[in-house]
Amino acid sequence: MPADGDRRNVVDAVGVGVLAGCAVWSLVTAAVHDGRPEGVLLAVLALAAGYAAGRILGVLMPVAAPCAAALAGLALAVALPRLGPGPEIVAPLGHAGATAAVLTLSTGAACCAAWTTPVPGLRLALWLLAGGVAITGALLGSTAAVVACCAVLLCSPASGRAPRRGPVLVGLAVVAALVTGLTWAVAGNALPGGLADAVRDRLTPRRVDLWRDALGMAHRESGLGVGPGRFGELSEAAARSTPSDGKPHSAPLQLAAEQGVVGVLLLAAVFCWVLFALWRASRPTPVVLTAGVALTALAAVATTGNALSFTTVTVGAGLLAGLATARPLAVEPPASGASDDASSRSARDLYGGRPAA
């Protein structure tokens, strides 16, 4: 439908603008402070490539593609738990955040495939696969993976009975904002004494010290930050840590320290664009909301860890978003287990809850 195409074009144009803004701003701040924007540019490219691949594969293979993505993520987390080069850092800093992120995305992909397939036996196998991913997280010793995967597993079946997708997606944005605010409060020592001590013990003093250094840099250089890739050079907590990856282990705080307020706003804009794309997607509501929950869980993991520093994670996030917003060539059957109103809602949601003209 022309209206459908127009709305998809708007979503794509917004995404191109936001990602281009991230790339350009990293170059600006790097030029001012002699920073190294390669990491940000690679993350932007990886996210865009994953999203494009997801859109294409979701059109051609709406069930097989997310199923393959879930299996690939599971295999990657088991075979390559470090997921990338860099110093081996003891838990809970290390690469545990990246492993949790990959397993969370795998769970979301398996659940999306389960909602998409019309074959009952295959649907059951995909739900079992999603549960197996969560169990794998426990076997790998990643508490964050278990919590995030279980959140997806609990919310995905419930999404079939959601009356509207818009309020749920807004709620997911609020959850991400609350997690970010809590991280900021911990870094700013704004929590009450007893709660602050409990959180510090759980997160480890080392991580909290990194956050406080990042927040201090953000206060001193709120406009342009200290420059991409320069946190490790200027952080006293990072200098005391051996070995160190030079990251504050929080995506919002890292961008606040290295790229200022604009960097944080651009990161928030990327997340809001993904939710906007999901809201406008023509896929069934359970598929859209499942992907939204998985990506919100990823945002929570990235807010308290260094997950977005790994190309594997950014590609996977883009891939899941693309799969959930693709428009398959064949008309999808109603999602099994969803109410009649929920299963037929995708066309109405596309037009903001109004019948198409």
What mean pLDDT is predicted for residues 284-290?
Answer: 95
What letter does residue 75 receive in the DSSP assignment? H
Amino acid in the structure at residue 136: T
pLDDT for res 328: 76
Distance, C-alpha 333 to centroid of its chain: 28
Tally of structural domains, the chain: 1
Whole-number pLDDT of residue 4: 60
Classify residue 356: in a domain, yes or no. Answer: no
Domain for residue 330, yes or no?
yes
Average pLDDT estimate for 209-221 = 92
Residue whose C-alpha is closest to residue 257's, from 287, 233, 288, 228:
228
What average pLDDT does range 289-308 have in this prediction? 94
| 251 belongs to a structural domain | yes
Establish if 357 belongs to a structural domain: no
41 confidence band (pLDDT: 50, 70, 90): very high
Domain that holds residue 133: 2-350
Asked if residues 249 and 97 have their Cβ atoms less than 8 Å apart, the reply is yes
Would you state the pLDDT for residue 351?
34
Residue 198 falls within a domain, yes or no? yes
Structure confidence by residue, pLDDT tens digits, 136-180: 999 988 888 999 999 999 999 999 888 899 999 999 999 999 999
Indicate whether 355 belongs to any domain: no
Identify the residue with better confidence: 180 or 328: 180
pTM of the predicted structure, to 2 decimals: 0.88
pLDDT digits (tens, 9 = 90+) for 85-121: 444 444 444 456 888 999 999 999 999 999 999 999 9
Confidence of residue 215 (pLDDT cuts 50, 70, 90): very high
Q: Give the whole-angstrom CA distance, residue 27 versus residue 17.
A: 15
196 belongs to a structural domain: yes
What are the helix (H) ranges across the chain? Answer: 2-33, 38-60, 64-79, 96-116, 120-139, 143-159, 165-187, 193-203, 205-220, 231-234, 236-240, 251-280, 285-303, 311-325, 340-343, 346-350
Residues of the chain above pLDDT 90, percent: 62
User: Is 221 within the bounds of a domain?
Assistant: yes
